[in-house]
């Protein structure tokens, strides 16, 4: 992986307060996603997992995402704009009221 890319990702993570982590079959097995999530956790970012399919994170990915408020963007189940609206509402109020949001307890690892 290009050193410049690594530095840019590192700086970007350090400059934000929220990380939206897209979870799918591919990202669940990506070492890079795990490293970025670890860095986000170390920098105390609010982590918002968004599920694209039925992948259930395991190992370190499951550990870092346990107890988080999940959001869904599964195909044919919810419109992307609904998920964006629910994330916005959650960030403003700490509340969720939609099928786009998944219950924390379902995804505690």
Tens of pLDDT, residues 10-29:
999 999 999 999 999 888 88
pLDDT of residue 75: 83
CATH number at residue 72: 3.40.50.10140
Domain count, the chain: 1
Tens of pLDDT, residues 50-66:
999 988 888 888 999 99
pLDDT category at 41 given cuts 50, 70, 90 is very high
More confident residue, 56 or 109: 56
Domain that holds residue 96: 3-107
CA–CA separation, 63 and 28 (whole Å): 12
pLDDT of residue 109: 42
Look at the pTM and tell me if it is higher than 0.75.
Answer: yes
Evaluate if residue 30 carries a pLDDT over 60: yes
Work out the average pLDDT over 81-86: 88
Spell out the SS3 assignment of the chain: CCHHHHHHHHHHHHCCCEEEEEECHHHHCCHHHHHHHHHHHHCCCEEEEEECCCCCCCHHHHHHHCCCCEEECCCCCCCHHHHHHHHHHHHHHCCCCCCCEECHHHHCC
């Amino acid at each position: 992986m290009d050193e410049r890319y690594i530095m840019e990702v590192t700086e970007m993570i350090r400059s934000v307060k929220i990380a939206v982590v897209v979870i799918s079959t591919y990202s669940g097995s990506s070492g890079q996603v795990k490293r970025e999530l670890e860095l986000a956790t170390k920098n105390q970012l609010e982590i918002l997992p968004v599920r694209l399919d039925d992948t259930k994170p395991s190992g370190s990915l499951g550990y870092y995402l346990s107890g988080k408020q999940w959001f869904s963007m599964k195909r044919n189940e919810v419109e992307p704009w609904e998920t964006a609206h629910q994330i916005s509402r959650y960030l403003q109020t700490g509340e969720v009221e939609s099928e786009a949001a998944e219950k924390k307890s379902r995804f505690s690892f």
